[in-house]
Structure 1
């Protein structure tokens, strides 16, 4: 059963809701995303040469310095382009139809950012005494200089992921099956598995998948309750700003972190409880957002 609030996002998907279109659409979007990254790599290789390029590629993959992080985030422009082609080629609808009404998207985005900043900031301060001493970035001027580019990059990255998983996959499945167990859970599981990285995360890989899938489920539920991507996108954006630009504890994507753990401090014994606390944070934010949606 589709809630009336979700109809604005589901109705445009119904004319071309066949499952093969959705699968093929994801394949097309992924192919264009990969081609975009290859094109970026080719430009870097031509500019820097083979030896320097191989070193730079490793730095970009981990976002270990300011420019590498910005370049990594910019790869998600390929996701926007891929989904734009998919929507026009296979579904004869605009990319904007995945977002919802612009005023609603903007309002809910601001609410999502505020909710995550308030609740997330409060919980971060609450667990601060149990963290090792955090190291401040050695060059605050560099952080401030790159901050606008990094914020734009995170806006692009989180927007691409929300459009693909909550905008495209969820609305297509809702139009095809109309069962919440399908259109809420399947995109959330796909979102979680997209973050699986056993090589770098080791024993934490499945905890990260579970944490990411939980966020996906929360974002999916809020999307169907609001009929727009704004709230989910705002939460996603604020969460990544906190994790990438403010306090980095996972040992990666820390090229522009204001505060980070000292080298060697990000062990599994520390990161596992932090991931669990992040899951508790997301449930608290979800409860606050659901309360706001019910009372608005």
Structure 2
């Protein structure tokens, strides 16, 4: 590393977390790692889509919109390829153990549980507050419980895959090479946000979704820098997505496992915008409370 990282943004634990990446931190290795991750993900995704198309025939396209429990679980399962990419990249290109992407396991588990607990507690308070938009029942409770184990496993895979790539592989490798947080904190977060740009689904709110996702990335990157493990970011991500996918969703893709939906779709720009802004404010509050809880 060319210079020491700013102390106010990091911790000795983060320096230890980045240490395994310092031996082979050349940019060409990291770029090849990104290509390898994309190639593995795209290749396995193509095979998965081919298998689904052959199995379900004409109904495959509708199934993959994730408007049903089965479709949502299948879409979440596609992230297994994304999870495999960084694991192989660190082994093949950087000659280090995959568990170094996570950090020390006991502190990581503790950070995971603390942050997930903060998100779930605040989400419960928010759901119980009066005055919100009316909700419509989406899924029968018995069916919801039947799918709950698979749903949680799928969300664990999906959020874990994204964290391994963005707060694990990219943040570690870039922090090992560059001192500035613009490289190892901001750049992966901006990329994370841009990959969620979907004007077909979100219409006029597409760039607001990018901003909200980039903010999430910055918060997850900061928690990783403070704790020196992937646990806090993963716990934040899993609990956040579990609430959005399993409890209250807007009508549209990925609402297939939700107990309730809002009485409007993801295309409704005017109705969605206040909720997105409220979610962003809630993320900042969660970040502040999580940092306080993790310090203890």
Please state which band the TM-score falls in when normalised by the shorter chain: over 0.9
Alignment of 1:4-23 (within 5 A): 4-23=12-31
**Residue 250 of structure 2 contacts residue 265 of structure 2 at CA under 8 Å; is this kept in 1?**
no
Relative to structure 1, the CA distance from residue 138 to residue 14 in structure 2 (aligned partners, 3 Å threshold; closer, same or farther) is closer
Structure with bigger helix share is 1
Paired residues for 1:54-203 under 5 Å: 55-60=59-64, 62-126=65-129, 128-131=130-133, 133-203=134-204
- 1:88 aligns to what SS in structure 2? helix
Deviations 1:33-66 (A, max 9, x none): 11111111222233334xx2xx313431x21111
TM-score using structure 2 length: 0.93
Gaps (5+ residues) in structure 2? 6-10
Pair 117,227 (structure 1): closer, same or farther in 2 beyond 3 Å: same
Distance in 2 separating the partners of 1:44 and 1:130: 38
Please say if residues 66 and 146 of structure 1, whose CA atoms lie closer than 8 Å, have aligned partners that are also in contact: yes
In structure 2, relative to structure 1, the CA distance for the partners of 1:222 and 1:27 (3 Å cut) is: same
How far apart, in 2, do the equivalents of 1:228 and 1:181 lie? 20
Return 5+ residue gaps in structure 1 as ranges: none
TM-score of the pair, normalised by structure 1? 0.93
Cα RMSD between the aligned structures?
1.6
Report the number of matched residues: 288
Structure 1 stretches of at least 4 aligned residues deviating more than 4 Å after TM superposition: 263-266
Contact 1:12 1:97 in 2 (8 A): yes
* TM alignment of 1:212-291, pairs within 5 A: 212-249=213-250, 251-262=252-263, 267-291=268-292
CA shift for structure 1 position 138 = 4.5
Q: Distance in 1 between matches of 2:264 and 2:176?
A: 48
Distance 1:215-1:137 versus aligned 2 partners, 3 A rule: same
Query: Which string of whole-angstrom CA distances, capped at 9 and with x for unpartnered residues, describes residues 128-155 of structure 1?
Result: 5131x21113522211111100000000
Q: 1:242-268: per-residue Cα shift (whole Å, max 9, x none)? A: 000110026321001001123558621
1:73-129 deviations in whole A, cap 9, x for unaligned? 000000111222211111111221010111111111111110001122223333x51
Q: Is the 8 A contact 1:9 1:97 kept in 2?
A: yes
Alpha-carbon offset, residue 277 of structure 1: 0.5
